[in-house]
Amino acid sequence: MVQARRSFQGSLPLASLPRLRGSLAAAEGAVDFDLDFGKDDLGVAHLRVRADASLPLTCQRTLQVFHLPVHVDTRLGLIAREDDEAALPGGYEPLLTADGAVHLAEVVEDELILALPVVPVKPGAEHQAPAFASAAQDDADGPDKPFAALQNLKHKKT
């Protein structure tokens, strides 16, 4: 595929990506991809991955589902051994192809997983108070002494 400079375009349903599906709030939607094999001026075999998707995630601040638009555009240097990684020029991420085969759906899935935020937060929710903040405020409005309630219990028993 590298020698022939093959290209693949298409769409995959998010439900068909099992490793990504566990991080999603729902398995609805699809990812559109464009994959191009080739060699650069230095003779490095590479795979250019472009993918666009709207991923349904659960906001960890509001617990609401929101759709995160994801755009991936990366260049993967095809290597046969881990030792070859050091020879890749800058701007390439390594893709280990020990048997020479590349599973295109897995490559697209890997890139989407790498694009996921560590803690998904709905845009605009960064400035909202978390749901547990109101309970903390109620405690703050109570007595100045944290053990005052225990003191009252002690006096009631005697």
| Tens of pLDDT, residues 59-87 | 988 889 999 999 999 999 888 888 888 88
Q: Are 33 and 108 in contact (CB under 8 A)?
A: yes
Q: What is the pLDDT of residues 116-154, one digit of tens each?
A: 999 898 887 766 665 555 545 555 555 567 777 777 777
- The structure's pTM equals 0.74
DSSP state of 4: T
pLDDT tens, position by position, 1-21: 777 788 899 999 999 999 999
Helix or strand run (H / E) with residue 69: strand 65-79
Report the chain's mean pLDDT, rounded to a whole number. 84
Identify which of 109, 121, 113, 117 has the alpha carbon closest to the alpha carbon of residue 31.
109
Q: What are 109-124's pLDDT values in tens digits? A: 999 999 999 989 888 7
Cβ(131)–Cβ(113) below 8 Å: no
Structure tokens at 97: 């192809």
> Does the structure show a pLDDT above 70 at 57?
yes
Q: What is the C-alpha separation between 116 and 24, in angstroms, rounded?
A: 10
Q: What pLDDT is attached to residue 20?
A: 94
How do beta strands 65-79 and 30-39 pair?
Answer: unpaired
Residue 56 pLDDT exceeds 60 = yes
Please give the backbone phi and psi of residue 50, each rounded to the nearest 5 degrees, phi first. Answer: -125, 130
Among 17, 57, 12, CA closest to 30: 12
Could you tell me the residue ranges of all domains in the chain?
7-127
Distance separating alpha carbons of residues 119 and 67, to the nearest angstrom = 14
